[in-house]
């Protein structure tokens, strides 16, 4: 009777796993917005359950082998199913990752903004694909960019060695400053455990055009030139680039999101497409790095500012 109960429990657990897995992946591709985002995080949490199930099945199978007993087929089937369920757990450790599924041409609204510097900028990370942009695994940063100015990626521990450090940041678009922070220290490049917050010094802009939001992060300490509640015009100098927060070297992080970053949870917010103005029209430039002497040397696209017509 006890053996029958154990066998029944395994079948029940297998059915539950299948239902949860189909429900999670189905919701991810059938729904939009927040339900889709919840499904994305759900299948990763479920992945941890899959790992535990694999370990449990292996232990049960090993016991059968040690006792010279025939292993029930249900144990093997459950283990194989759990391997697929466990796959998203690897994304947490950057193993076999995929991009958050979103069609850049279908997600609305998108915005096209000016390059936030007055000189040629390197796209460290950016674009629609995982190979060009590690941000694509996080829904809110699906179309985020890390921008640099040469020299960059040389592995120096001196802030002043990086071309972007201290450069003026200009407003990429017109809007209202809904929040800012500017008093965090700039971190030593290459040392991440000193950071107090993830974004460091930041500015949130509510865009006039769409009512959506731009997030600019890792700004230089005490460099912000605007105030909360102030309306700014595109091209206004608003701060300087720094290395505050969770940042490996001086750069500007910028992304576009639907929800208000002041009131909505970061993990449940939706990233929206972000394009830059160029002489040939809107572009979504690609990023990328090449590892050279232990340093991540940027090899992404170069983008240059276009003169703003007043």
- Is 310 among the domain residues? no
Q: Where are the alpha helices (DSSP H) in the chain?
A: 2-30, 33-66, 73-86
- Rounded Cα distance, 51 and 44, in Å: 11
Using DSSP, how many helices (H) and how many strands (E) does the chain show? 3, 15
Give the pLDDT score at 4. 55
82 vs 13: CA distance, rounded Å: 10
Range of the domain at 248: 111-303
pLDDT tens-digit readout, 73-85: 999 999 999 999 9
Residue 101 lies inside a defined structural domain of this protein: no
- What gap in Å lies between CA 82 and CA 303, rounded to an integer? 45
9 with 56, same domain?
yes
141 and 290 both lie in a single domain: yes
For 91-95, 121-125, 167-171, which range has the lowest pLDDT when averaged over its residues?
Answer: 91-95
Same domain? 262 vs 290:
yes
CA dihedral 151, 154, 156, 159 (to 10 degrees): 30
Single out the residue in 93, 127, 148 at which a domain terminates. Answer: 93
CA distance 177 to 173: 11
Q: Is it the case that residue 194 has pLDDT exceeding 70?
A: no
Q: What is the pTM (predicted TM-score) of this model?
A: 0.92
Considering its fold, how many domains does the chain have in total?
2
Last residue in a domain, options 93, 125, 141: 93
Structure-token match 């430039």, residue found: 285
- pLDDT tens profile 100-128: 999 999 999 999 999 999 999 999 999 99
d(CA 219, CA 239): 7
Query: Which of 48-57, 154-163, 193-202, 260-269 shows the lowest mean pLDDT across its residues?
Result: 193-202
Whether 243 and 299 share a structural domain: yes
């Amino acid at each position: 009777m006890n053996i029958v109960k154990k066998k029944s429990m395994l079948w029940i657990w297998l059915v539950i796993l299948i239902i949860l897995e189909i429900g999670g992946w189905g919701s991810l591709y059938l729904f939009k917005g927040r339900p889709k985002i919840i499904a994305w995080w759900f299948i990763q949490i479920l992945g941890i359950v899959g790992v535990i199930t694999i370990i449990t099945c292996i232990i049960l199978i090993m016991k059968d082998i040690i006792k010279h007993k025939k292993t029930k087929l249900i144990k093997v089937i459950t283990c194989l199913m759990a391997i697929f369920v466990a796959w998203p757990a690897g994304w947490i450790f950057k193993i076999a990752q995929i991009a958050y599924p979103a069609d850049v041409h279908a997600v609305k609204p998108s915005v096209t903004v000016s390059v936030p510097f007055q000189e040629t900028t390197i796209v460290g990370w950016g674009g629609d694909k995982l190979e060009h942009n590690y941000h694509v695994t996080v829904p809110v940063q699906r179309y985020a960019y890390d921008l640099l100015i040469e020299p960059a990626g040389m592995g120096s521990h001196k802030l002043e060695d990086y071309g972007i450090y201290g450069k003026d940041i200009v407003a990429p678009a017109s809007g209202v400053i809904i929040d800012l922070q500017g008093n965090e220290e700039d971190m030593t490049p290459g040392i991440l455990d000193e950071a107090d917050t993830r974004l460091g010094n930041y500015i949130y802009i509510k865009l006039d055009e769409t009512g959506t939001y731009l997030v600019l992060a890792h700004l230089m300490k005490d460099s912000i030139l605007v105030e909360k509640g102030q309306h700014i015009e595109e091209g206004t100098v608003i701060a300087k680039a720094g290395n505050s927060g969770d940042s490996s070297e001086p750069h500007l992080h910028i992304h576009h999101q639907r929800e208000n970053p002041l009131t909505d949870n970061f993990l449940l917010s939706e990233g929206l497409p972000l394009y830059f103005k160029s002489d040939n029209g809107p572009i979504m430039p690609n990023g990328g790095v090449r590892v050279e002497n232990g340093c991540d040397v940027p090899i992404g696209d170069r983008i240059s500012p276009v003169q703003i017509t007043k």
